Amino acid sequence: MSQELNLILLGPPGAGKGTQAARLVQDFNIPWASTGDMLRTAVAEGSELGIKAKGFMDSGALVPDELIVDLIVERVRNADSADGFLLDGYPRTIPQADALAEALQGLSRTVTAALLIELDDEEVIRRLSGRRVCTASGHGYHLDFDPPKHEGICDQDGSRLIQRDDDKPDVIKNRLEVYHAQTKPLVEYYENLGLLRRFDGSRGQTEVHDHIRAAMATLRLEETV
């Protein structure tokens, strides 16, 4: 039996998906396939798919699902994806999930699990709205978790700290509305397939990582039985 771990990462902004993804790809030696990164790489390399994607991006249009799936297929065919992959940023809708399943089926592969890192809206807003960034060098701070020694001033170079527009509460609330509208059906989709695994994103990063790693190790073990 296959021991592939073909994983999809789900969760609201601020849930720590990036942190967990970086750890999981090291744990299981699988690539982190971010759709945003794949698009940027394809465009930079001037590949056939990249040229097509650039045309849409330059015109301000959304890159079609078909093109995203083609990029994913191209990425999954790489030798480093033989043991699996961690897909981040796709799918976001049911039709995208169906398209992904069909494309993987064409490669004789399937999704092993969809990992949902859950975090309530209030905590998302607290985490994101507390972030501050140095205007000169980009050093990051957090008002609760890693505050500067002097309010509004960067410890490193004395420059002014600002709150980015997408970290403002009203913007975060809008992002959450979009997330819930898109993701709730997707969560149900993978739950109905028996592929959803839930993790409590309010816990510490290491504890969340330990829970995910243990669940994935168990999954991989079950695949060999």
In the set 23, 40, 54, 92, the catalytic residue is 92
In the set 126, 131, 132, 197, the catalytic residue is 131
Q: What is the rounded radius of gyration, in angstroms, for the C-alpha atoms of the chain?
A: 19
In the set 77, 160, 164, 173, the catalytic residue is 164
- Residue 197 annotated as catalytic: no
Please tell me the distance from the alpha carbon of residue 200 to that of residue 155, in angstroms, as a whole number: 33
What are the residues whose beta carbons fall under 8 Å from the beta carbon of 8, sequence distance 6 or more? 86, 87, 91, 111, 113, 114, 115, 190
Token duo for residue 11: 């969760």
- Residue 109 annotated as catalytic: no
- Residue 175 annotated as catalytic: yes
Contact between residue 156 and residue 192 where contact means Cβ atoms under 8 Å apart: no
In the set 23, 54, 168, 175, the catalytic residue is 175
- Residue 164 annotated as catalytic: yes
Beta 131-134 vs 161-162: how paired, if at all? Answer: antiparallel
Measured from the Cβ of residue 86, the count of other Cβ atoms closer than 10 Å reads 24
Measured from the Cβ of residue 221, the count of other Cβ atoms closer than 10 Å reads 10
- Residue 203 annotated as catalytic: no
Please tell me the distance from the alpha carbon of residue 55 to that of residue 61, in angstroms, as a whole number: 9
Hey, which residues are catalytic here?
17, 92, 131, 164, 175
